[in-house]
Amino acid sequence: MVKAGIIGATGYAGQELVRLLLGHREVEIAWYGSRSYVDEKFASVFGNYVKLVDDICKGDDLEQLAEEADVIFTATPQGYLAGILTESVLEKAKVIDLSADYRIKDVSKYEKWYGIEHKSPGLVAEAVYGLCEINRESIKKARLIANPGCYPTCSTLSIAPLAKRGWIDMDTLIIDAKSGTSGAGRGAKVQNLFCEVNENIKAYGVASHRHTPEIEDQLSYISGKEVVINFTPHLIPMNRGILVTAYAKVVGEHSADELKQAYNEDYEDEYFVRVLEGTTPPETKWVEGSNYVDVNIKYDPRTNRVIMMGAMDNITKGAAGQAVQNMNLMFGFDEQEGLRLVPMVP
Amino acid sequence: MVKAGIIGATGYAGQELVRLLLGHREVEIAWYGSRSYVDEKFASVFGNYVKLVDDICKGDDLEQLAEEADVIFTATPQGYLAGILTESVLEKAKVIDLSADYRIKDVSKYEKWYGIEHKSPGLVAEAVYGLCEINRESIKKARLIANPGCYPTCSTLSIAPLAKRGWIDMDTLIIDAKSGTSGAGRGAKVQNLFCEVNENIKAYGVASHRHTPEIEDQLSYISGKEVVINFTPHLIPMNRGILVTAYAKVVGEHSADELKQAYNEDYEDEYFVRVLEGTTPPETKWVEGSNYVDVNIKYDPRTNRVIMMGAMDNITKGAAGQAVQNMNLMFGFDEQEGLRLVPMVP
Amino acid sequence: MVKAGIIGATGYAGQELVRLLLGHREVEIAWYGSRSYVDEKFASVFGNYVKLVDDICKGDDLEQLAEEADVIFTATPQGYLAGILTESVLEKAKVIDLSADYRIKDVSKYEKWYGIEHKSPGLVAEAVYGLCEINRESIKKARLIANPGCYPTCSTLSIAPLAKRGWIDMDTLIIDAKSGTSGAGRGAKVQNLFCEVNENIKAYGVASHRHTPEIEDQLSYISGKEVVINFTPHLIPMNRGILVTAYAKVVGEHSADELKQAYNEDYEDEYFVRVLEGTTPPETKWVEGSNYVDVNIKYDPRTNRVIMMGAMDNITKGAAGQAVQNMNLMFGFDEQEGLRLVPMVP
Amino acid sequence: MVKAGIIGATGYAGQELVRLLLGHREVEIAWYGSRSYVDEKFASVFGNYVKLVDDICKGDDLEQLAEEADVIFTATPQGYLAGILTESVLEKAKVIDLSADYRIKDVSKYEKWYGIEHKSPGLVAEAVYGLCEINRESIKKARLIANPGCYPTCSTLSIAPLAKRGWIDMDTLIIDAKSGTSGAGRGAKVQNLFCEVNENIKAYGVASHRHTPEIEDQLSYISGKEVVINFTPHLIPMNRGILVTAYAKVVGEHSADELKQAYNEDYEDEYFVRVLEGTTPPETKWVEGSNYVDVNIKYDPRTNRVIMMGAMDNITKGAAGQAVQNMNLMFGFDEQEGLRLVPMVP
């Protein structure tokens, strides 16, 4: 059995890792790390794990953890891992980082958007961006994975087939995204209280959200052009789920069927991407609790734009599920192991 | 006291008219029309009106109603009023129609988008589009008001200042909108059940929603150009509220301040439009239960696009509140009478 | 115009006071007190007040406030007012306290259930318990009002008619209550985050909730017996609303009609209490945003128990609305002034 | 592989059976029965099953189904199965009925509470009440299982340890229950629309809910006395989850520890019942999507009552999960097979 350690196990993504790894046949969890709850029972923080997890929360001694674990998941605040990760750790254990620390290759761009000095810029080049459907082969050989952000995962997979083919004008691309509140984390903030979020919707981070450069980078790699976009996330009164609605002008002559065919081709063999039939719009409910991304498009001949839509569980495929998928690739496990989750309705 | 009649009083917009008119000092409700609940107590359908309304629901005899009322509100399905409205009715009472029947001047366009034959095309030309902030003077003289749709109201007011000045490229305009579920009406449909809507988000009517030509018409009048847009509404798990996020390229050289100034100028004297400070994004919660529209913009120099945002209560300013505002104008009442509602938080 | 000051204006109950007082024809707000937001614009904390309130938040200097205001509302944490209230303040201004500090006549009982030392026990005797429907005449003459808790208000009004007549066995009384989350306040606590409350229900304070002795006191006064009860509150994923379901054995022979008649008699002239028809169960939605309490009962001949039910908005009649009702009585205003709020649906 | 057929596969409980059986290693689904959607793709009704289920919905020909399946699950309206079930069917396939048709041994009691004539009273005696933790051995030998109702499952398991020991006075027992809206089914009814349920709570079926005699029967068997109770269910604005709060007087001298010990003893070996530590109240969120029932109690010395609490997912342990658990027992599978579901948070 591969031994896994989690730093940040009592955040929403961290505890979702626990849910997934408990159902994984090749892995056992050796370390539940949580600075806020050291020495407390993990199951007393998250009551869903009563009778399933007896462990006590430990701290964040990364060097020690690397001695005890084969793989380390870090679900930690931005800048945290960059401050403590060392070559010595990477020699002992594979690291899958759910924060943004190693996602952006241009360190100065990272520092500008995040307002943080990067403490281990020397490790950035090595890190592999863990979007499995795009970078599968590199992931298999990686020691350090930059697990993608939730919005970038859903956005990139929704847009990639047309961006890759050069069938959309990337200068016209606009991404309007909507996320459930678990994406805001488990910190005690007034703005995330039930009464502030419930019966409300708002945009946030307008023209300034930190996932913007990450999305731009990925779409630039895919399209072979420098991409600059508008990206607007919105906070939705629900726990889980991300919906992306993206707009772009079609370049050249492409019928609605031809555009759709690009998705069917690219995702034919991808277990975790479901191209919906006809023009059925994706719904977050259909993927809740699973590692699926549902995508579909609608071509509008009136404006010659294509509307690209994707739905995903932000905590699963958008965080912990994709992290497990990355681990499966890195360790040569079946890519679907632990992730054959049927979405839960209602 | 002016006597008001309501056809469709037991829908969500209809009963909101009751809420507003009960607080109006110049009006009394003389007719609670509801085909589904004829002869039942209105307060047994909507328990919030216990002890406030003792009336029994009546039918939809428009000619009779015109004898008894000075103003008639119709909150009825598309095509219904067009099928029964006559010159004789309009001679006796003013009519404010909350359906779409008289909103679109080009009858063939109406028939195409709604898939309905228009039964009284001869009355379309006379109808005034009741967007008070735009058509105030015409409304004052009107007999028949086409009360605007919820999405068109919020979209038009969010975009008008820049469209009017020619400062945005209307060919690049995209409107991504989000609505609470009351917008879907009170019909018993599986797709609107609690368990289907809750913890879910989806786009609907993609590139085909019926409010598209209405928005295009209004923005065409305002900008003086033929406007064709992408408009995508989304269903949100909340009762009330509409949020509009619109995107367009800026034409010419205009600073963020200059763009913002257009809103401050246009809405300085508009009681029901609140231009928020700085770049604070509007939130639907801040307008809930009131007749306000909150608007704001953010200019993005990276893309030279402006993001225009508006938040509104879809049942109030997006339906019943605007209808009362129209009535106030038509009868020479204070425009704010019955509408000085403080938004309810939380 | 009477001048009102609010200490704790940026809590949920405090800002609801603002909503109500803005619609009150005899009062103007002279002091928005909020320690957390001193020198910030009130409308920047609660965006619903943009264009309605231009004031800046002030501190909690009670002596100074008493110079400037005729009536002071305190929506503050338990123990706070008791620590600063003086005879000097009461000589200058009437005080309506929304906290629990003066609700329980037996100071040792207060100190035991709240775990706080009472700092001004000498003022407890003078304070009048502001349950308007029960203590109307005393309230009119009071300087200091202990504004009732939300659960006690709804519980007492739901049970009083039968308790008063001795028609139920008070030893069998059980109160099972359910509250929206605004009752938990606006403090930044993990347990009140959206993702913790949404899609969840739990009991809390089982056999230990602080409103227990307050309910027992009131029912003891009304029934003339020492009452000891079980009271179990539950947290519900909604913003506003309290529902009380109470159970007791019927004493003697009383038909369902006779039991119901007690409610009709007692509340016939009470504007803010609505006895529903037949056995229709109250729903919190029917009272949302209003000062109404809806009550009804169902007699079960199989068990000889009566189920007493009440629904109320916890922020309005359960806090700010009742405070305004108390003010109206104290200043000789129409008791309904500022409180003729039509419940908002949906 | 055992072949399973489902009648009523497109209801909430029916499709949950699909979710669970897809993860079961000994079973395959051979028949997706749904009268409303015959000849439609199952995955076009429930989009969560895209790429997981390719089957087309079939009708409800029970005789034919019995030829093709080893076990038949019926998630159908009350009275439906009783009208079509025959000895011939039972000879060919085991039947697990999720409706109430065979739960109550006294047919006249069934007919009175349900207002339906029972069409196959001769089969009632044979049916085994499928509450696995109570009737495990009988279930193993059964051909026909009456799968328990959601409220009766949660109520019985929460109360059984004290009822069995005679430590509570059954005449004082009151059950106040709260359920998510999926319990109301997927029928298109106005009262279950999002806008009617959201931001609302109400009691329903007060002193008349059909689960009352079922709970009374089970508690009568367990306690050895004729039990008559008050049972009040409430509708909660959430999708899944049932919470039971039950009250009874303690008989004799029993410390809080002794009462708690009864639960620890009885449920020590029960995988699906979790007795929480200390007096931690159960929360529905901690069991969501799983087959667990979380129970706990609090003794109140002031009133000598014990408050017994249970939380459960109404669709899983309260319907489909328990049905699968019954199947596991009937076919000699591991009782936990297909049911090792980790509750999903948030």
Question: pLDDT value at position A180?
Answer: 98
Measured CA to CA, the distance from residue D235 to residue C148 in angstroms comes to 27
Tens of pLDDT, residues C128-148: 999 999 999 999 999 999 999
Per-residue confidence band for D216, with pLDDT thresholds at 50, 70 and 90 = very high
DSSP C33: E
Q: Calculate what percentage of chain A has a pLDDT beyond 70.
A: 100
Closest-CA residue of D relative to A268 is D51
- Maximal CA-CA distance, chain C: 63
Cβ partners under 8 Å of residue C286, min gap 6: B46, B47, B48, B50, C292, C294, C311, C343, C345
Q: Give me the torsion for CA of A277, A283, A285, A286, rounded to 10°.
A: 10
Low pLDDT (below 50) residues in chain C:
none
Question: pLDDT value at position A68?
Answer: 97
Is D195 labeled as catalytic in the residue annotation?
no
Query: Strand (E) positions, C125-283?
Result: 128-129, 144-146, 174-179, 202-203, 230-235, 242-249, 273-275
Question: pLDDT value at position D225?
Answer: 96
Cβ partners under 8 Å of residue A324, min gap 6: A17, A20, A21, A24, A291, A338, A339
Strand order in the sheet with A128-129: A27-33, A2-7, A71-74, A94-97, A144-146, A128-129
In degrees rounded to 5, what are phi and psi of residue A128? -105, 130
Question: pLDDT value at position D28?
Answer: 98
The rounded mean pLDDT for chain D is 98
Of residues C181, C192, C198, nearest to A239 (C-beta)? C198
Tens of pLDDT, residues A209-241: 999 999 999 999 999 999 999 999 999 999 999
Test C23 with B340 for CB contact under 8 angstroms: yes
Tens of pLDDT, residues B183-221: 999 999 999 999 999 999 999 999 999 999 999 999 999
Test B197 with D196 for CB contact under 8 angstroms: no
The CA R_g of chain B, rounded to the nearest whole Å, is 20
How large is the angle between the packed helices C256-267 and C150-165, nearest 10 degrees? 120
The rounded mean pLDDT for chain A is 98
Question: pLDDT value at position A312?
Answer: 98
In degrees rounded to 5, what are phi and psi of residue D254? -140, 125
Of residues A186, A195, A238, nearest to C239 (C-beta)? A195
Question: pLDDT value at position A18?
Answer: 98
**Residue located via tokens 């009702």:** C325
Question: pLDDT value at position D337?
Answer: 98
Test D243 with C230 for CB contact under 8 angstroms: no
Preceding amide of B77 cis, omega within 30: no
Per-residue confidence band for A163, with pLDDT thresholds at 50, 70 and 90 = very high
Q: Are C147 and C98 in contact (CB under 8 A)?
A: yes
Give the ranges where A166-237 is alpha helix by DSSP (H): 194-197, 211-223
Helix (H) or strand (E) holding A293: strand A293-300
Measured CA to CA, the distance from residue B66 to residue B80 in angstroms comes to 16
Q: Which chain B residues contact residue A243 at CB under 8 A?
A: 201-203, 234
In degrees rounded to 5, what are phi and psi of residue A16? -70, -35
Neighbours of A332 (CB within 10 A): 9
In degrees rounded to 5, what are phi and psi of residue D295? -130, 155
Test D48 with A290 for CB contact under 8 angstroms: yes
- Find the mean pLDDT for residues A330-344: 98
Of residues D195, D236, D240, nearest to C236 (C-beta)? D236
Q: Which among A45, A193, A197, A285 is the top mutation candidate for probing chain C, defined by the most C β-carbons within 10 Å of its own β-carbon? A: A193
Measured CA to CA, the distance from residue D129 to residue D145 in angstroms comes to 6
Of residues D289, D292, D294, nearest to A289 (C-beta)? D289
Per-residue confidence band for D275, with pLDDT thresholds at 50, 70 and 90 = very high
DSSP C147: P
- Find the mean pLDDT for residues D36-53: 98
C29: which strand partners?
Answer: C4
Per-residue confidence band for D75, with pLDDT thresholds at 50, 70 and 90 = very high
pTM: 0.98
Using CA atoms, how far residue A184 sits from A25, A154, A233, C194, D281, in Å, is 31, 17, 12, 10, 27
List the chains bordering chain C where 3 or more Cβ pairs fall under 8 Å. Answer: A, B, D
Give the ipTM of the model, two decimals please: 0.97
Measured CA to CA, the distance from residue D155 to residue D295 in angstroms comes to 10
Q: How many contacts, defined by CB atoms under 8 Å, are there between B and C?
A: 84
Closest CA to C183 of D191, A149, A193: A193
Measured CA to CA, the distance from residue A42 to residue A22 in angstroms comes to 14
Interface of A with D (CB under 8 A): 12, 15, 19, 22-23, 44, 46-52, 182, 199, 239-240, 274, 276-277, 280, 283, 285-290, 292, 294, 315, 340, 342-346
Q: Which chain B residues contact residue A304 at CB under 8 A?
A: none
Using CA atoms, how far residue D44 sits from B326, C89, C257, in Å, is 44, 69, 52
Q: Which among D15, D182, D193 is the top mutation candidate for probing chain B, defined by the most B β-carbons within 10 Å of its own β-carbon? A: D193
Closest-CA distance, A108 to chain B, in angstroms, reads: 17
- Find the mean pLDDT for residues B128-132: 98
- Find the mean pLDDT for residues D8-32: 98
C312: which strand partners?
Answer: C242, C293
**Residue located via tokens 């004789």:** B88
Test B206 with A283 for CB contact under 8 angstroms: no
Question: pLDDT value at position B245?
Answer: 98
- Find the mean pLDDT for residues D227-235: 98
Of residues C188, C198, C237, nearest to A189 (C-beta)? C188
